[in-house]
Chain A
Amino acid sequence: MIDTFAALAHGMAVAIQPMNLLYALIGVFLGTAVGVLPGIGPALTVALLLPVTYKLDPGGSLIMFAGIYYGGMYGGSTTAILINTPGESASMATALEGNKMAKAGRGGPALATSAIGSFVAGTIATIGLAFLAPWLVDVAVRFGPEDYFALMCVAFVTVSATFGDSPVRGLTSLFIGLTLGLVGIDKLTGQARLAFGVPELLDGVEVTTLAVGLFAVGEALYVASRRRHTEEKLEPVRGSLWMTKEDWKRSWKPWLRGTMFGFPIGALPAGGAEIPTFLSYSTEKRLTKHPEEFGKGAIEGVAGPEAANNASAAGTLVPLLTLGLPTSATAAMMLAGFQQYGLNPGPLLFAERPDLVWGLIASLFIANCMLLVLNLPLVGLWVRLLAVPQPWLYAGILVFATMGTIAAKPSAIELSMLAGFGVLGFLMRRFDFPIAPVVVGLILGPIAESQLRRALAISLGDPMTLAQSPISATLLAVALIALLAPFVLKGLGRFKANED
């Protein structure tokens, strides 16, 4: 333990040199600049900017790297809040409440709670990384396919929090998402499903294409169609630009809870960042003292998922550093970054190059601070964007939204899909179907399916494997309780009402 502190202190000393601070700042800035493009998530941001770091020494480069990474993540949340365009799948939950807040003139507090929440979560998770990594990783490798499937079941149950008021319409949205999730090559047998002979469909529907189409394009179409009747009036700032005392009070617990979801699930080799953000969103929705605000811009719904997103990012470093396991696209890019200096992350890295490992952990701290330094002053500037006259604002949003797709996959088919999802988003808004469950279905469906099928292949088709693993049995029980609890409580309530 003492060794850990000494090593961390040494790492800090390396990271805090003025030149390294400067690299961190540049990294955060570049990361934010590219990361704001919808469809370009942190992984692609890091990939695109990796060459920029080539010229630096390993220490400085790693620090710039960490900055790019954090900047890329925060950039995705900024667009989610301001223009309802989640830059990556993990900031979808942020868009749900964040954009409502921005439209109500509370974009300032929304951006602030997401930046500070990211900072808090990032810091706690980085501490967790420093102290718990070796222990966590032993737990993480015990998760087998059946346990992941059980985790997905928990996620599916909690997703109902995004359903709105009609279960039939919510489920309809979810199943549309599940259908889209089937498109493409089946991971386990390599056969094409619902691809209709179109090669571009073989890799499936890109989550960001769907999210940007449904959220940004769909919204632009919807607002345009109603312009005659209800002139949308956007006020960039109503009330305080900063977080009020009340905002702080409502934010700190979601930050901590979000971290609790994000870090451990992020550390699981197939955990990802989406599930903790959904779990956090639905938890906050259940626990809030202001349930009436959910769906209209509740700050808890931004604070929690943003913290979860950031904490899970630090979580993915656990298997990367201790096992050399790149469990996300971003982690794979980080691995490439390491290798460029002849480093091979893995069980031996902590022993062989402690200076660089602790330097990296320290630079994550520093990059996190820089994110705050750079972004808090910009909050005022960002929200002014909403004061742009409506025609230009929406024209700009559409240009921006399509640009991510143009840069990532410049094919006519991908762009047509984006436009098609835009129309779908418009129709769903018009007929009052919730949007979020579609994206949730696309993300969770394929994972749940392939994990279940892996589990069954290993057990030679015996479904009892789901009950035999203690982790899976526990998680399935949790899912079942969460599913039945509302009905039981309702029944009890009715029972009581009858007694009265």
Chain B
Amino acid sequence: MFRFPTRLLGAAVALGLAAANPAFAQQLELKLMAPAAPGGGWDQTARSMQQALVASGVARSVQVTNVPGAGGSVGIAQFVNGAKGDGNQMMVNGFVMVGALAMNKSPVTLEQVTPIARLTEEIQVIVVPANSPIKNAQDLAAAVKADIAKVTFAGGSAGGVDHVMAALFAGAVGADPKKINYIPFSGGGESLAAILGGKVTAGISGLSEYEGQIKSGKLRALGVTSEKRIAGSDIPTFREQGVDLVIANWRSVVAPPGITPEQRKTLSDAVEKMVKSDAWKEILKQKGWEDAYLGGDAFADFLKKEAVRVTDVLKSVGLVKS
């Protein structure tokens, strides 16, 4: 019974390797940790990296391991303690981990890892149902200022990027972020249903998640959080509408603590090469991810600034004790 699929799989694997392994392939054998369960954003990022690293010949093999738990808190603890000084390991992480570590009072922090590069980012959007009286960011701002409790925001998990964004919006329009009525839902599906059903005032999410609904006219986008208007899109930014709200859900890759500068350079070069490869560009297009490559010390700087900003917001909404 096992013979047939065995052969098929073997053939598939062989094919993949033959196609993916040009003669100039380096001898890099990487281990990549996705600190989340299979299927989520970090896992998809890790698996896409695996695909691109091997296909572009940057690495000979890449093994993805999943260590799910508490917004990455379990994964990073294992990574920092278990992979210390190992120049062949990397871990995917992102915006959500910053908040999760602060909220879970994790003993391990992002300062301990060696930053490699930011890879992608996703622009955030605020939407309302098509029949809502709220037409633009200013209307929403007015509603928030009038009675902040009555404006319900649906979004992802507590302390995640959507929640932080709701608090930033309230702050930017001059309301008290502490008083926002933010309702976390598990997964984009449930919150979208609540928005479409008119159960909440507005919804917050990554733009790509709601793009289909916006195009089909079921949802109205009030604004996006990019600095400049996205090319080819007619959704205005919040900045254009006089609300200073710029945020993105970024994903990045880091290396363990205690690696040598040479090891760090090897990994950084490998990632940079991967980012420039056609395979990676193809994946970005497929998944609808925005290329946001930022390497070296610039990324280390960015990471520090984001950590401060997110922790401040979480303190202001009372999720992290100050």
The answer on direct contact between A and B (beta carbons under 8 Å) is yes
Q: Is the pair A348, B184 in contact by a Cβ cutoff of 8 Å?
A: no
Contact between chains at A346 and B39 (CB < 8 Å): no
Interface contact B199-A323, CB-CB below 8 Å: no
Q: Which of B149, B186, B212, B288 has the most CB of A within 10 A?
A: B212
Q: How far is the CB of A186 from chain B (nearest CB, A)?
A: 8
A451-489 CB contact bits vs B (8 Å, 1 = yes)? 000100110100000000000000000000000000000
Contact A347 B218 (CB under 8 A): yes
Q: Does A48 contact B (CB under 8 A)?
A: yes
Which of B2-10, B116-124, B167-175, B224-232 contacts its partner? Answer: B2-10
Known contacts being A340-B286, A460-B149, is A319 close to B70, with CB within 8 Å? no
Q: Are B39 and A347 in contact (CB under 8 A)?
A: no
Q: Is the CB of B196 within 8 A of A199?
A: no
Does B189 contact A327, Cβ atoms closer than 8 Å? yes
B212 touches A347 (CB 8 A): yes
Nearest CB in chain A to that of B4: its residue: A26
B residues less than 8 Å from A345 (CB atoms): 212
Q: Which residues of B contact A203 (CB under 8 A)?
A: 68-70, 74
Is the CB–CB distance between A458 and B152 below 8 Å?
yes
Number of chain A interface residues as a range: 35 or more
A250 to B11, CA, bound (A): 46
- Whether B215 sits at the interface, judged by CB under 8 Å, is yes
Please pick, from A347, A411, A458, the residue contacting B199 in the complex, using a CB distance under 8 A. Answer: A458
Which of B44, B192, B215 has its CB near the most chain A CB atoms (within 10 A)?
B192
The distance in angstroms between the C-alpha atoms of A13 and B100, with both chains bound, is: 49
In the complex formed, the residue of B with least CB distance to A25 is: B4
Given A202-B74, A203-B68, A347-B216, does the pair A187, B211 have CB atoms closer than 8 Å? Answer: no
B288: chain A residues at CB < 8 Å are 339, 344
Give the chain B neighbours of A326 by CB distance below 8 A: 187-189
Stretch at the interface among A1-9, A139-147, A170-178: A139-147
A389 at interface by CB-CB < 8 Å:
no
Across the interface, which residues of B come within 8 angstroms of A26, CB to CB?
4-5, 8
Q: Mask for A337-369, Cβ within 8 A of B = 1, else 0?
A: 001101011111100000000000000000000
Contacting pair A344 B211 (CB below 8 A): yes
* Least Cβ–Cβ distance between A27 and chain B, in angstroms: 10
- Whole-angstrom distance between the alpha carbons of A460 and B73 in the complex? 32
Which residues B280-315 have CB closer than 8 A to chain A?
285-288
Q: A22 CB to closest chain B CB, in angstroms?
A: 9
Q: With contacts A52-B9, A270-B190 known, is A199 near B69, CB below 8 A?
A: yes
Within the complex, what minimum Cβ distance (angstroms) separates B149 from chain A?
6
- In the complex, the answer to whether A346 meets B149 with C-beta atoms within 8 Å is no
Given A187-B157, A348-B215, check contact A199 B74 (CB 8 Å).
Answer: yes
B204 vs chain A, min Cβ distance (A): 15
Contact A144 B199 (CB under 8 A): yes
Q: Which residue of A29, A43, A51 contacts B39 across the interface (Cβ within 8 Å)?
A: A43
- Name B62-100 residues within 8 Å CB distance of A: 68-70, 73-74, 77
A196 to chain B, nearest CB (A): 13
Which residues of B lie under 8 Å from residue A333 when comparing CB positions? 39
- Say yes or no: A190 contacts B319, CB within 8 Å: yes
Q: Which residues of A contact B16 (CB under 8 A)?
A: 54-55
Q: Is the CB of A325 within 8 A of B104?
A: no
Q: Is B276 an interface residue, CB under 8 A from the partner? A: no
Whether B77 pairs with A454 at a CB distance below 8 angstroms is: no
What are the interface flags for A128-167 relative to B under an 8 Å C-beta threshold, 1 for contact and 0 otherwise? Answer: 0000000000001111110000000000000000000000
- Cα–Cα, bound, A141→B68 (Å): 30
CB–CB A324/B158 < 8 A: no
Knowing A199-B104, A348-B216, A454-B183, say if A188 contacts B197 (CB, 8 Å): no
- Chain A nearest CB from B28 CB (Å) reads 20
> How far does the Cβ of A374 sit from chain B's closest Cβ, in whole Å?
10
Q: Which of B1, B77, B199, B215 has the most CB of A within 10 A?
A: B199
Contact with A along B169-212 (1 / 0, CB 8 A): 00000000000010111111110111011011000000000011
Closest to A329 in B: B39
Least CB separation from B193: chain A residue: A269
Chain B residues lying within 8 Å of A398, measured Cβ to Cβ, are: none
Pairwise interchain contact A144-B5, C-beta atoms closer than 8 A = no
A324 CB to nearest B CB, Å: 5
The contact of B70 among A145, A185, A327, A458, by CB within 8 Å, is A185
CA distance A458 to B152 in the complex (A): 7
Closest to A343 in B: B286
- Asked whether B159 is an interface residue with its Cβ less than 8 Å from the other chain, the reply is yes
A202 touches B212 (CB 8 A): no
Q: In the assembled complex, which residues on chain B have CB atoms less than 8 Å from the CB atom of A185?
A: 70, 104
Complex contact B196–A323 (CB within 8 A): yes
- How far is B200's CA from A325's CA once the two chains are assembled, in angstroms? 17
Q: Tell me, yes or no, whether B131 is within 8 Å of chain A by CB.
A: no
Contacts of B263 in A (CB 8 A): none
Q: A450's closest neighbor in chain B, by CB? A: B186
Judged by a CB distance under 8 angstroms, whether B15 is at the interface is: yes
A187 touches B158 (CB 8 A): yes
B142, CB-defined interface residue at 8 Å: no
Interface pair A145/B189, CB less than 8 Å apart: no
| B12 interface residue per 8 A CB criterion | yes
Contact in complex: A55, B15 (CB < 8 Å): yes
B104's partner among A141, A192, A349 (CB-CB below 8 A) is A192
Contact B38 A44 (CB under 8 A): yes
Cβ-neighbour of B181 out of A191, A200, A457 (below 8 A): A457
Q: Chain A residues with Cβ under 8 A from B152's Cβ?
A: 457-458
> What residues of A have a CB within 8 angstroms of the CB of B159 in the complex?
190
Q: Which residues of chain A come closer than 8 Å to B149, judged between CB atoms?
A: 460
Residue A423, interface by CB 8 Å: no
Contact of A52 among B12, B150, B158, B188 (CB under 8 A): B12
A498 interfacial contact with B, CB 8 Å: no
If the complex has contacts A344-B212, A346-B213, A458-B199, are A188 and B39 also in contact, measured as CB distance less than 8 A?
no
Residues of chain B with a CB closer than 8 A to A349's CB: 212
Where the two chains meet, the residues of A that have a C-beta atom closer than 8 Å to any C-beta of B are 26, 29-30, 43-44, 47-48, 51-52, 54-55, 140-145, 185-192, 199-200, 202-203, 269-270, 319, 323-327, 329, 331-333, 336, 339-340, 342, 344-349, 409, 411, 450, 454, 457-458, 460
A-B contact pairs, 27 of them (CB 8 A): A26-B4, A29-B1, A44-B37, A47-B38, A47-B39, A47-B43, A143-B193, A143-B197, A190-B103, A190-B158, A199-B70, A199-B73, A199-B74, A200-B69, A202-B69, A202-B104, A269-B192, A326-B188, A327-B189, A333-B39, A339-B287, A342-B286, A344-B212, A346-B211, A348-B212, A458-B152, A460-B150
- 8 closest A-B pairs by CB: A346-B212, A202-B70, A190-B158, A47-B38, A269-B193, A347-B216, A325-B189, A141-B197
Q: A190-B159, A457-B181 are in contact. List 5 more A-B contacts (CB 8 A).
A: A187-B157, A188-B158, A199-B73, A346-B213, A347-B212
